[in-house]
Amino acid sequence: MYRPPLTLRVLQPFLAVLLVYLVAAFASDPPRKSNGLSDVVQWDNYTLFLRDQRMFLYSGELHTFRLPVPDLWLDIFQKMVAAGLNSVSIYIHWGLTNPAPGELDFDDWRALQPMFDAAALAGIFIVLRPGTHSMHINAETTAGGLALWSTSLVEGDVRANSTTWNAAYQPYVSKIIDLAKPNQVTEGGSMLLMQIDNEYSQTPVSHAEYFADLEAQYRTNGIVVPLTYNDPGQKQQFVNGTGAPDLYGLDFYPNNFNCTNGSLWNPVPTNFHQYHLDTAPDRPFYLPEFQGGSHDYWGGPGYERCRERVGPDFEDVYYKNNWAANAKMQSVYMFYGGTSWGGIPYPGAYTSYDYSGAIKETRLLWEKYDEMKRQGMFLRSSPSFRKTDWIGNTNVTTPGPHVVEFKGKDADKAFATYLRNPDTGTGFTISRQLDGTSVTDISFQLTVPTSQGTLTIPQRAGSITLSGRQSRVILTDYPFGASSSALYSTASVFFAGTIGNRDVLFLYGNSDQAHEAALAFTGHGTRYTSSRVQYTSTHGAYTTISILPHAISGGKGLLTLWDSPTQLVLFADPVIAATFWAPAVRSPTAHTLPGLETFWQFGTNTTVLVGGPYLVRNATLTQERGSTVLALRGDLNASVPLTIVAPEGVRSVTWNGQQVRVRAVGQGTLEGQLTVTPGIHEVIVPKLSGWKYADSLPEVKSGFDDSKWVVADHTSTNITIPPAFGDGRVLYGCDYGFCENNIFWRGHFNATGSEQGANLTINGGTAFAASVWLNDVFLSTVSDISAKGEANAFFAFPPSALKAGSDNVLTVLQDHMGNDEGQNQKSDRGIRGFELVGGVGKFSTWKVQGKLGGYSAYPDKVRGLLNEGGLFAEREGWHLPGFPITSAHFTARDFSSGLPTGRAGVGFFTTTVKLNVPHGVDASYSFEFDGGAPHTGEPYRALLFVNGWQFGKRVGNIGPQARFPVPPGILDHHGTNTIAVALWVMDNVSVHPTLDLVLDGAVEGGVGAIAINNPGWKPRA
């Protein structure tokens, strides 16, 4: 037992802390600003204020439409909150919710209220981004998120101040307003901010006027929270002037999107702070989209390579570099990417939108999540970091003396920025290597100002080491808990706060590096005894704790450096620190804001530390028979030791409703064991067998009746790029209501017998393909993986295929890969040019057929606009659960056998598989083609349908995606599932793809019951 001497020197640090709090209480802030409609949300040049409380906005992006299972939104929200995030940025897809003029569909997974409700339950604010344009590079969605009908039925430019464009988007915005208005934080809801629109230019003036019209519509109809904007790449657009919203934000992706380069990094940005001063110094530095990963592209290296490029080390360096620029509002894109199912993707992206985010597409966590959590917990634990002045950095070109300086052998290789809280005096030295991309280690000492004078640290532990691609926040005069302080720390802070009556500080650092902290211990406590940890009394009552690398002295794991009734100090390496959680415990006080009871800082400041589980979703403290019970809910992926730091009086612990035996250790820590049940090991992965097959290309057979197809006879178009050649008819799918997935064209002509062929230019977007038949004879397939996504070819007619003196049909099956983003959202998808060479010399009629029902009359209103395409099997509903396969001439045929003809064509395979996942287990399944090979070279395309939902497009000769995750709710974990594949073979060869169900992982716990909404087959007209 160690007891510090009770002298004036002991009182000195606490008097200093008291003085700091008194100064802070009376310190003057800069004048706050608001939009004049409400003072609930205000701001100054540092941060946002919510009901007079400063907040560091720490946010991540999620698109609910990429996870069309509303019950799983809470799962993602809870994982975000558990990582320390206090906000989620959400884009609403105009095209999916406004499928046709005058039709607004916010039902089922398109509904907004379940999203708001789940956010309130989890305790996370929403930044709503409903703009009539999509997210970064327009979220890699078809037409950038525009309503597809607006790309063909609306005259003139999109996103301009014109009568036709205003009439197109305003009903959608009005509906957004109606749904969002009661959920604003001003009404006790979770919506904190609303982005007016995204990534645009303030010139010409029509663009600015369009923004002004949008703002006026929001304001006059009741949206009073601040409006924001997202500026791509330091263009200083919509900062002030016409159309400028309340808050300007910078959109930045420093590592770009080429994952082929693997772990290669671009230079770390160095001008952010100056850019903020030059652009919007009167507002917080806001990064509404900062790189949280990278999308991949057709033929790309796959997301595993992307994870190398934008992994946890990227977060460590680049995100803390944003902090060094004094950014106090940051959202990473994406935190959870999800799936671009059906026709959602733009041509440059495939089905998976994993994005290498902190949460994988499978909803599983990985090391990148851990780093986000370490940063998030520090931000949540550090109120003094919410208001800091940028004092300077160690750049040798900065004039004047440097506030902090490096010493030692690698001093010239280190770089630091010094931030200081003007009220508390807390210093934050954000250090990294001068070459932020370096992969070598450096060591140095740091001279910093403190309340005890200028110090060179570490004072006993030798030096500070930074590994390659590592950044660290070095603290001085750091207050924590109710009355504790650290004079300095070269170790990082994972958690700081009050638990019960104890001030708790949880430090962490790499176990192969030395670390040091000077703390003022309180109470009568015990120290950790080990040759790895050395204690020295210095600077009055501060005790210097030097922690040596474990390789030198041993002592790995969680170290309790100080344990007293009033204070607890812990240390661990980053991996162990990331196994701890600090859930917000509902504990209403007089300061709790109505409606925000579950929100950290605004509803509660009560928490516990829980170490060991895969995830802790929430915690409650209740009184039962005179003792306090801590009830924890969360997930396990293995049996683990349990460590709990809880308020005094907690003697009983439950985990997911089951009692856990715990024992007290030290002054208030509890230890126990969490054991997974056998269910986690009993998740069965059945084989896909019993396939049935039917031909799905009657369109090329003699006598096929296309009389009910749409006649393609338009002679004008609103689409930007005009036809290349032809006879004046426009053959663009979007003009006829077919703007997604597979589309058929049939050109009729009465042959003389001397026709030589057809010259066609076909546009389908990047990685498209089109197969062409004359009558029932396959001619050829064309494709293009370039950005243009267009192919011109002459299709020679075999004389034997012609039917002289009668109707002949040229059939084109085209894969529409989605509309472009950016400047060509009105994309020219279809047959841009056509010419019949020889003979009659002209097509008499063109017919077109895509998804049954086009823009508005499609039958599947639950799965929605983009789920289906124009294949015969899709039009008939063969992919839906309950389709009577006996009515469509299905025969037994294994999927790996391919098409029975061994030639080009389209076939349809279907089977069922029964799952019985143990209750209480959250399993992540995927469907894997060809054993996971990125591409096999076989010329086939396959559409994967799971219970009617198109959840995968496989292109065997391009790749890279072979594995397609499907979430519960789409996949029924407790029933029979209908699995179907439309197989398009693009050449006269036999192909032999394989398809297997695979298990990505399983955890015990989960978010609870997941509703199934998979409507079955009904006869279609």
Sign of CA dihedral 134, 140, 144, 148: negative
CB 882 within 8 A of CB 888: no
Q: At 669, which amino acid appears?
A: T
Alpha helix segments (H runs only) across 455-591: 550-553, 574-577
The closest of 72, 88, 74, 91 to 125, measured between CA atoms, is 88
Q: What are the phi and psi torsion angles at 887 (to 5°)?
A: -85, -5
DSSP state letters, 591-636? TPPTT-TTSBTTTB-EE-EEESSSEEEEEEEEEETTEEEEEEEEEB
Distance separating alpha carbons of residues 35 and 193, to the nearest angstrom? 12
The single residue of 199, 315, 876, 1004 carrying the catalytic annotation is 199
Distance separating alpha carbons of residues 984 and 702, to the nearest angstrom? 20
CB 763 within 8 A of CB 347: no
Q: What is the largest CA-CA distance in the chain?
A: 113
640 bridge partner residues = 674
Distance separating alpha carbons of residues 281 and 275, to the nearest angstrom? 9
Distance separating alpha carbons of residues 583 and 655, to the nearest angstrom? 14
Task: Give CA angle at 646 (516, 18), nearest 5°.
Answer: 55
Q: What is the CA radius of gyration of the chain?
A: 31
Name every residue whose Cβ is closer than 8 Å to that of residue 10 and which is 6 or more positions away in sequence: 4, 540, 541
663 bridge partner residues = 671
Name every residue whose Cβ is closer than 8 Å to that of residue 240 and which is 6 or more positions away in sequence: none
Distances (CA, A) of 968 to 211, 363, 618, 976, 977: 40, 11, 22, 13, 11
SS3 64: helix
The single residue of 61, 140, 289, 821 carrying the catalytic annotation is 289
Bond preceding residue 817 cis, omega within 30 of 0: no
Whether 199 is a known active-site residue: answer yes
Whether 405 is a known active-site residue: answer no
Q: Are strands 777-784 and 768-774 parallel, antiparallel or unpaired?
A: antiparallel
The total number of residues written for the chain in this structure = 1021
Distance separating alpha carbons of residues 167 and 149, to the nearest angstrom? 13
SS3 19: helix
List the structure tokens of 540. 């009055």
| Residue 323 DSSP label | H
List the structure tokens of 555. 């002592």
The closest of 173, 181, 282 to 224, measured between CA atoms, is 181
Residues noted as catalytic? 199, 289
